[in-house]
Structure 1
Amino acid sequence: MARGNQRDKAREKNLKKLADQKGGNNLTGSQLAKAKEDAAAIMRAKQAAANEKKSGGAAK
């Protein structure tokens, strides 16, 4: 009888794990697009700074 209980517990654990995986993204489409654009702007600024540093270092 202990094996049946073990199966039930494993099933419950797996269902809980799957439920946690599904709840990852809470943003709407427009919020997600804005978040992506903000991240892209930050990365463009970082890349510009890196390029400036690289070209400034090569000139010296």
Structure 2
Amino acid sequence: MARGNQRDKAREKNLKAQASQKHKNTKTGAEMQRDKEAAAEMMRKKQAAADAKKAAEAKN
């Protein structure tokens, strides 16, 4: 059976590649919450700037 060795080698290579990939999030709940709040704050600032720009354009 000539293909048996190829199959085994391919399986080993695939397992090695999967082991090197990151599967889970390594952040704790507090870190994730802090990041979500930081992103939300950035979006609030961005939205406020866009609203101010629209108001300025509507005024002119």
**Shared fold, TM over 0.5:** yes
Separation (CA, whole Å) in 1 of partners of 2:42 and 2:53: 17
Tell me the equivalent position of 1:34: 34
TM-score computed with the length of structure 1 as normaliser: 0.76
- RMSD between superposed Cα atoms in Å: 1.8
Length, aligned pairs only: 59
Q: How does 1:1-60 map to 2 (within 5 A)?
A: 1-19=1-19, 20-22=21-23, 24-60=24-60
Once superposed, which parts of structure 1, at least 4 consecutive aligned residues long, lie more than 4 Å away?
none
Percentage of matched positions with identical amino acids? 58
Q: Structure 1 or 2: larger helix share?
A: 1
Task: Specify every segment of 5 or more residues in structure 2 that has no aligned partner in the other structure, as ranges.
Answer: none
Task: Specify every segment of 5 or more residues in structure 1 that has no aligned partner in the other structure, as ranges.
Answer: none
TM-score computed with the length of structure 2 as normaliser: 0.76
